[in-house]
Chains A and B, each alone.
Chain A
Amino acid sequence: ETGVTQTPRHLVMGMTNKKSLKCEQHLGHNAMYWYKQSAKKPLELMFVYSLEERVENNSVPSRFSPECPNSSHLFLHLHTLQPEDSALYLCASSPSGTPSSSYNEQFFGPGTRLTVL
């Protein structure tokens, strides 16, 4: 148990569906992250939020829309996905995500296994 929870753990959706992934951290951290991990590929950083502001967006397609209403919650809204978007989506948090911060360890949730049909 890392203090970062994700729901749902598994999700199957069609290409025309709209769904959302939820992440919640109970660690009092100020930064939250979304990563994508496709089969046999390294983790890819998608979005970084620091103090509820998006500070990083790694050229992610617009069919992925993040939302960070407060420092404890992070959402990833999904719409009109493609089969190649099937992957493990991981959320992480760290004490700080600002450029001036020193190293901080990231704490990962268990992930949501997404399958797009």
Chain B
Amino acid sequence: LAKTTQPISMDSYEGQEVNITCSHNNIATNDYITWYQQFPSQGPRFIIQGYKTKVTNEVASLFIPADRKSSTLSLPRVSLSDTAVYYCLVGRYNQGGKLIFGQGTELSVKP
């Protein structure tokens, strides 16, 4: 499973766009990139998943360059309730559904 590197923490203000970048230099051909969100004392929650280029849903966008060695989670116009830890995961999810979580990025949104 590919190792991921993310910033440990980020600060933002309400209404701003937040971009969290994840590095995964040894990503394999069959690997997908997935992001989870975790609020304090709760379980992680799936946000978005992608393989290449751009994926968008009602919560976020995921940008993946052609070499796939990094990815960027984009949260548009964040609010205080977006304060959470965001995890980037990379893996071939035909491996029995195993998820390997790293340290994640602790996002703090201020008024």
B45 CB contact (under 8 Å) in A50, A94, A97, A108: A108
Contact flags A80-115 to B (C-beta < 8 A → 1, else 0): 000000001011101011111111111111110100
A90 and B43 contacting across the interface, CB-CB below 8 Å: yes
Binds A, one of B16-24, B53-61, B73-81, B89-97: B89-97
A97 and B44 contacting across the interface, CB-CB below 8 Å: no
CA distance A83 to B88 in the complex (A): 30
A106 and B94 contacting across the interface, CB-CB below 8 Å: no
Instruction: Give the contact-size bracket for chain B.
Output: 20 to 34
Binds B, one of A11-19, A40-48, A60-68, A70-78: A40-48
CA distance A42 to B45 in the complex (A): 15
A100 and B97 contacting across the interface, CB-CB below 8 Å: no
A92-B43, A113-B41 in contact; A98/B49 too (CB < 8 A)?
A: no
A42 and B97 contacting across the interface, CB-CB below 8 Å: no
For residue A57, CB closer than 8 A to chain B, the reply is: no
- State the main secondary structure of chain B at its contact with A: loop
A96 and B43 contacting across the interface, CB-CB below 8 Å: no
For residue A55, CB closer than 8 A to chain B, the reply is: yes
Contact flags B73-111 to A (C-beta < 8 A → 1, else 0): 000000000000001000001111111111110000000
B41 and A111 contacting across the interface, CB-CB below 8 Å: yes
A2-B43, A113-B41 in contact; A106/B99 too (CB < 8 A)?
A: yes
Q: Which residues of B contact A110 (CB under 8 A)?
A: 41-43
B43 CB contact (under 8 Å) in A31, A50, A97, A108: A108
B94 and A48 contacting across the interface, CB-CB below 8 Å: no
B98 and A56 contacting across the interface, CB-CB below 8 Å: yes
Q: Which residues of B contact A2 (CB under 8 A)?
A: 43, 45
B100 and A45 contacting across the interface, CB-CB below 8 Å: yes
Q: A115: shortest Cβ distance to chain B, in Å?
A: 13
**What 10 additional pairs, Cβ within 8 angstroms, besides A42-B103, A108-B45, A109-B43?**
A2-B45, A33-B97, A48-B97, A50-B96, A56-B96, A90-B43, A96-B97, A98-B97, A102-B93, A113-B41
